Amino acid sequence: MMNNEVPVLWDEECLNSSIYKDMCNGISAAAAKKQMTAKVYTDCAKLMEDASSDRTVIVIGYESPRLRDNLLRLTGKKKQVILAGLDAERFGSGISSTSPSRRGATAMLIQYLVACKKERIALVACGESSVNDLMRCEILKGYLYTRGCPNPDDAIFFYRERVDESFEAFWEKRENFDAVICPNDYVALCFIRYCEEHGLRVPEDLYVAAFSNRTLSRYCKPSITSMSINFVDVGECSYYAWEFLENHKMEDHQIHITTPSSLIVRESTAYEMHEMDTENAILLDAAHQGGPFYSEPVIANVMHVENCLTQCDALNLKIIQGILNGESYDSIEDRLFLSRSALNYRLKKIFTYAQTQNRKEFESLFRHYFTKENNL
């Protein structure tokens, strides 16, 4: 393998797909600007023989057991990997990625439908165990929640075995909605056919929009409004990620680059065009971590203990140790060679760190967590 080569492992089964070709073109284009070339392998064993053992590898392929095996082989030899087009956030050490921002795309589609005055939005045909679909649910529910919708869960229609299940469940509640988002164009097309067969017209009675901008979304009737991904861009960023890892040589660190999607407006939303802001407001609201953690009284107390310990120096820790052992202040002064005023000064600080008023309160707080036996 030459010094100016970027090793790329490209799953044979994807060699004909236009998405993967676009990514590979992106890698090559970005590499060429730095006088580098992509060297494509279809066989992982061959790549591992050839490639310089410490060089980062870009992997192109879809999620499959073979991809999993290849990733284990590469990372087993401590190779850094960049997955092009797949979100590796949920994978382990040494697996970086470049992928479209699915969260950004979901928020943008919600924002578009709201701009169209279709605020009663449902998500139809979500797979119960699809990580991507669940993420889209979370964002829509977060949005509906901040808009005061009492039951955001009612806007999500899952399927277990047949997608039709979710269409049928939606049909019962269709009066409650102005617009439907489907997780991909395939189910969007099936859903639109289902609506037509039952006498509901898209877009007249219901707007429908989806993700991935597949070829059929352009040709079917009505054509489908969809979020489109620029895979050449994904490829270029994969090269930038490669360069970053090669330059920094950070073992066990990962880098994930997310690329933006663009909205392709078509017949299923009546070709309505709107200017839009960034989708940050939606995402930041939806990302709010609810739950009672910081206000739970047991946890609030133990946080005061932590706050106190963190701010104490070694001498203060010895004072706390004495207090918990039931030692008198006279004895603490003698043991630690402290004057009364020095001890008082330190006690005041210690009690304040723990948000307590005096020795009695302090002892009562700390004894919950530190018995006489402790490691202070």
Residue 78, phi then psi, degrees to nearest 5: 65, 20
Identity at 149, one-letter amino acid code: C
Among 80, 259, 268, 269, binds a copy of itself (CB under 8 A): 259
Among 90, 151, 172, 326, binds a copy of itself (CB under 8 A): 90
Residue 324, phi then psi, degrees to nearest 5: -70, -25
Q: Pick between residue 7 and residue 104 the one whose CB is nearest to a copy of itself.
A: 104
Q: Pick between residue 28 and residue 259 the one whose CB is nearest to a copy of itself.
A: 259
Of 165-204, which residues contact a copy of itself (CB under 8 A)? 185-187, 189-190, 193
Among 24, 59, 95, 350, binds a copy of itself (CB under 8 A): 95
State the minimum distance, in angstroms, from the CB of residue 200 to a copy of itself: 15
Among 150, 219, 326, 328, binds a copy of itself (CB under 8 A): 219
Instruction: Quickly count: other Cβ atoms within 10 Å of residue 186's Cβ.
Output: 16
- How many CA atoms within 13 Å lie on the side-chain side of 174? 17
Quickly list DSSP for 301-343: HHHHHHHHHHH--HHHHHHHHHHHTT--HHHHHHHHT--HHHH
Of 145-164, which residues contact a copy of itself (CB under 8 A)? 159-164
Burial code of 56-81, b = ≥16 C-beta within 10 A, e = fewer? bbbbbbeeeeebeebbeebbeeebbb
Tokens 């049928």, located at residue: 168
Q: Pick between residue 172 and residue 252 the one whose CB is nearest to a copy of itself.
A: 252
Among 206, 257, 319, 332, binds a copy of itself (CB under 8 A): 257
Q: Work out whether 314 is an interface residue with a copy of itself (CB under 8 A).
A: no
Q: Work out whether 281 is an interface residue with a copy of itself (CB under 8 A).
A: yes
Q: What is the DSSP letter of 290?
A: -
Of 328-347, which residues contact a copy of itself (CB under 8 A)? none
Give CA–CA dist 88/314, Å, rounded: 43
**Residues, the chain, total?**
376
Identity at 115, one-letter amino acid code: A
Of 21-80, which residues contact a copy of itself (CB under 8 A)? 63, 68, 71-72, 75-76
State the minimum distance, in angstroms, from the CB of residue 90 to a copy of itself: 5
Strand order in the sheet with 121-127: 156-159, 121-127, 179-181, 207-211, 225-229, 261-264
Q: Work out whether 230 is an interface residue with a copy of itself (CB under 8 A).
A: no
Q: Work out whether 237 is an interface residue with a copy of itself (CB under 8 A).
A: yes
Q: Work out whether 128 is an interface residue with a copy of itself (CB under 8 A).
A: yes
Q: Work out whether 208 is an interface residue with a copy of itself (CB under 8 A).
A: no
